[in-house]
Amino acid sequence: MGCALQFRNVTLGYDRHPAVHHLDGKIDTGALVAVVGPNGAGKSTLFKGIVGSLKPLAGRIERGALLPQDIAYLPQAAEIDRSFPINVYDLVAMGLWRRAGSFGGIGGRARTAIEQAIAAVGLTGFEDRAIAHAVRAPAAAGRPHDRAG
């Protein structure tokens, strides 16, 4: 397998305050990787660097043949404007936007993928609920089973 991501002495942070320091390593194509650590360890900062929304303070992230827009990234709930008038189903469907395009429809296979994604995070039955009311704050911290009733 080839290398999907390579980190070369990358430092990521905000306003010259590093959150991820001198990271070196690679992730092979098809690898299943878990990024774990305490609050403030730099996990979200790392993902922002991977998707290109945060430029490294030093070093570089090589994405191989991947473009930043080819990588799906759902930020933490605290970073989502929960007052935006969209329901759970439509928010998940937005993940298909690149494939479907601005005016493309959602076919049967796409609907199945959306339903599977919703089920995977334990939100079946909440598809029509506004994102502002779909999940309580603790669920955003990693417990999707703690849903609003």
- Tell me what pLDDT residue 138 has: 40
d(CA 66, CA 138): 33
In Å, what is the CA distance from 106 to each residue of 63, 93, 100? 29, 8, 7
Q: What is the Cα 38 distance to its own chain's centre?
A: 18
Output the pLDDT for position 69: 76
Residue 75 contacts residue 24 (beta carbons within 8 Å):
no
Of the pLDDT bands very low, low, confident and very high (cuts 50, 70, 90), residue 32 is: confident
Quick one: average pLDDT of 34-51? 91
Mean pLDDT of 40-58: 92
Report whether pLDDT(147) > 50. no
Mean pLDDT throughout 3-13? 94
Q: Which residue would you say has higher pLDDT here, 104 or 55?
A: 55
145 versus 4: which is more confidently predicted? 4
Q: Encode pLDDT of 71-129 as tens digits.
A: 877 777 666 677 788 899 998 998 887 777 777 778 898 999 999 999 998 899 999 99
R_g of the chain computed on alpha carbons: 17
pTM above 0.85, yes or no: no
Report the pLDDT averaged over residues 6-17.
93
Task: Give the model's pLDDT for residue 1.
Answer: 66
22, amino acid identity: H
